[in-house]
Chain A
Amino acid sequence: MQLSGYSDIGHSNISEGIYLKTSANVLYKYRSLALQTGIQNDIISNNKTVFSGLNLNIAHYFSFKQKKYSVKTFFISTTLLNFVKERNYGAFLSTENKHFNFKIGTGFKSIGFTQHAIETAGINSNENVYEIFNPLYSFSYTLNKPTKPWNVGIGVTNMDNFVVNQATNPMTTVYGHYKLNESVRLTAEIWYKTAGAFNLHVNYFGLFFRPGIIWELK
């Protein structure tokens, strides 16, 4: 069993100033399976919805030709201003070696309106927009082997715990962790987001810092 928590402190083109979000997560492992769930809260934000995200993941770990893999399915639900609701679900395959971590998969997205929006904004259609088979990826490199008590790395991906971007909007992250003792690890990440990269005219979209803590329960 693992408990973790982190905060996102940052700025973006849509944030109207600095924002602060927090997230709490629980992960339970049983043999080759892992079940993880998390929530996201907007503490300082122009999103009036405090409870803004929920995710649920189920992973299966296995070996193939002496390499370790996992298959993970996920569901993410987010709400903006109690007005727009977004659902993401999908699956990806992960593998890693001493320094590299690769994830590749596919996701489905629906965007629609909440009942509150339908009632207050006079929306007369509750149809959703669907995006299907969006490619998902994450490639990262870490400096040390996983056995070391600390590590730093760099990665590029189009998915985060509560955000799934289209493949053409990559996010770059620099991250690190330090193992305080057998149970507790401190983590820190910096995420840089751009817009328009594949339009060949890249523009700043956002930047945030994510300090966190992971607690292993025996």
Chain B
Amino acid sequence: MKVIVPLLIGLIFSACNYADMGGMFVVNESVNERFEQSIEANNLNGDFGFGTYTDDYQIAVMGDIHIGGTENFNKAIEQIKVLNPIALVLNGDICNGNAEDYETLEQHLPEKADLMYFMLAGNHELYFGGWKEYYKRFGSSTYYFTVSTPTANDLFICLDTGSGTLGSKQLAWFKELLQQKRTDFRRCIVFTHNNLYRIRHTLSTNPTNEELLVLTELFAKYKVNMVVTGHDHFKNVIKLGNTTHITMNALHDGFMYAGYFQLNIKEGQLSYEFVNL
């Protein structure tokens, strides 16, 4: 035991930089509470949809940026400005949960008029009571947006898996959304922070097995085309049924495989690209 306990503590710390150990025992906001606040924000802001003049468009996705450091984030933002995507999705673990990290993030985000961005919380956003900061500055972490081209409409759903579970309320919302809206859209793409399947051994948590089976069923039944995740920090692609599950490389400073992800809709076809910095 003398060896095992310090080893376990060391492993946990090594898995999560600037880890909030207290979060293992005391939860500031449960996932159900965060979901309710997200829905309140959605009700205030309304549904978000935008159109394109052409059938082809791109969406850039970045995750596990872990601000503090901003070097890679700034570099990636400069690169995607050339690409000119219609939107950027920041897919969780954008910062490390401290108020000063959120401050730094806000300073380095592009103007929404220049580049529309969407974000959702990962587990690190919740550290050190970080959800309050997130909510105050960015609002919802559970919502959807739509993209309308001259020929089709696509649905993009953002889910909060910062706690390793959707929770009962968010799961019910997600199920209802798919039931009511999925058939109105050509493609459905889900963004969430936690990677769902564990292809690689890590100490980070994936959803419980029972929840994983329910999500697998929902993705298949409602023909979700793609699920884009991060959390694991190493890119991976799994095809299960008709759903492609993407795990992105992390973008944080000092990571040798740092990069982001690019979704392409071209001539009605969905393709993707991992972009290394």
Contact = CB atoms under 8 A, between A and B. Distances in A.
A197 interface: yes
Given A169-B164, A199-B205, A129 B211 contact: no
Contacts of B242: 121-125
B208 A200 contact: no
Contacts of A181: none
B213 A80 contact: yes
A131 B207 CA distance: 14
A201 B210 contact: no
A81 B205 contact: no
A133 B20 CA distance: 29
Interface stretch (B37-45, B75-83, B166-174, B246-254): B166-174
A127 interface: yes
A189 B208 CA distance: 20
B240 A111 contact: yes
Nearest to B31: A203
B167 A13 contact: yes
A201 B127 contact: yes
A84 B167 CA distance: 20
A204 interface: yes
A117 interface: yes
Nearest to A165: B209
Given A113-B220, A125-B239, A133-B201, A201 B211 contact: no
B239 A198 contact: no
B186 interface: no
A124 B220 CA distance: 11
Contacts of B216: 84, 111
A111 B212 contact: yes
B164 A83 contact: no
A169 B240 CA distance: 23
Contacts of A86: 209, 213
B220 A83 contact: yes
Given A86-B213, A166-B198, A198 B240 contact: no
Given A84-B216, A121-B220, A166 B206 contact: yes
Interface residues of A, number: 46
Given A13-B167, A80-B217, A201-B162, A125 B241 contact: yes
Interface string B201-227: 101111111111110110011010000
A89 B24 CA distance: 30
Interface in A122-162: 122-125, 127-129, 131, 133-134
B205 A195 contact: yes
A83 to B, nearest CB: 5
Nearest to A158: B209
Contact of A14 (B25, B30, B211): B211
B168 A168 contact: no
B12 A123 contact: no
B60 interface: no
Interface string A3-36: 0000000001111100000000000000000000
B213 A202 contact: no
B62 to A, nearest CB: 20
Interface in B1-58: 12, 15-16, 19-21, 23-25, 27, 30-31
B157 to A, nearest CB: 18
A206 B241 CA distance: 28
Given A84-B217, A168-B204, A201-B27, A196 B212 contact: no
A169 B209 contact: yes
A164 interface: yes
Residue among A86, A201, A205 with the highest chain B CB neighbour number at 10 A: A201
A112 interface: yes
Given A16-B172, A127-B239, A131-B197, A198 B203 contact: yes
A165 B240 contact: no
B204 A112 contact: no
B198 A131 contact: yes
Contacts of A125: 239-242
9 contacts: A113-B241, A117-B217, A129-B240, A166-B206, A198-B205, A199-B194, A200-B123, A201-B24, A202-B24
Given A129-B197, A131-B199, A201-B127, 9 more contacts: A16-B168, A80-B217, A84-B216, A111-B212, A111-B213, A117-B241, A121-B220, A127-B240, A203-B167
